Amino acid sequence: MMGRYDGKATRTMIKTRLPAALSLLAAILCLACLPACAQAQFSFVIDPPVQSAAPGTNALTFFGTLSNTGQTALTSDKNPAFNLLTGPAGVDLTTFPVYLDNFFAPATLNTGQTQSQIFSVNIDPAAGLGQYTGNISFGYGGHVASQDNITVNVAPAAVPEAGTLPLLALGCAFLGLKLRRRRPDTSAR
């Protein structure tokens, strides 16, 4: 035998249990979304992470991709830092033979914005020849990004080949002869 439907009891049960059920559902949804909210909203990579230059080079630029992948603009909240980790044997890294010159990323990274010119370094004229490695780090929206294995190869400046100067002298002599032949004879007057 089936019981009678009691509308008053059902309404009372809904009134008391529905808010608790909705609160539980909201808590579950918040916990499910929390990992996505905690992830950084920007991506960052330096490509290529290896550059070569001579001592005394100013503004050796590193390129890559810095993108805001989130739904809101991000504000820079950690100053950029280039940390020099290793260098050639016998070089004192505390003298900063390779140091951060300029950080090109904007103070505010808007939604969908991509930056390709990331930072540049200067190479001290007294820097020893060899390979220097370091990392770059900075932050947006409470998240810190960094990339290790940024490499600067310091090599001597390119010197022209020995055959270049004689070839230049031969070209200048040829031009001189051509110009001499074109001059009108002024001695006949």
- pLDDT digits 0-9 by tens, 137-185: 888 888 888 888 899 999 987 776 777 778 888 888 888 888 877 666 6
CA 55-58-61 angle, to 5 degrees, is 110
Q: Report whether pLDDT(38) > 50.
A: no
The pLDDT of residue 32: 55
Cβ contacts of 70 within 8 Å, gap of 6 or more: 41, 42, 111, 141
Question: What is the rounded average pLDDT of the residues 15-35?
Answer: 63
Percent of the chain whose predicted confidence (pLDDT) is above 70: 76
Q: Report whether pLDDT(40) > 80.
A: no
The secondary structure of residue 164, as a DSSP letter, is: H
Residue 132 and residue 158: Cα distance in Å, rounded?
19
One-letter identity of residue 145: A
The pLDDT of residue 72: 86
Could you state, in order of their start, the residue ranges of all structural domains in the chain?
42-154
Q: Name the CATH superfamily, with its identifier, for domain 42-154.
A: Immunoglobulins (2.60.40.10)
Say whether 156 sits in a helix, a strand or coil. coil
Cβ contacts of 87 within 8 Å, gap of 6 or more: 93, 97, 98, 128, 130, 131, 132, 133
Calculate the average pLDDT of the chain: 80
* Sign of the torsion angle spanned by Cα atoms 105, 106, 108, 114: negative
The phi and psi torsions of 175 (rounded to 5 degrees) equal: -65, -40
Longest dimension (CA), the chain: 143
Q: Is the pTM of this model over 0.85?
A: no
Percent of the chain whose predicted confidence (pLDDT) is above 90: 16
Residue 95 and residue 114: Cα distance in Å, rounded?
34
User: pLDDT tens digits, residue range 53-69?
Assistant: 999 888 899 998 888 88
Question: What is the rounded average pLDDT of the residues 109-123?
Answer: 89
The pLDDT of residue 71: 83
Tell me if 127 sits within 8 A of 99, measured CB to CB: no
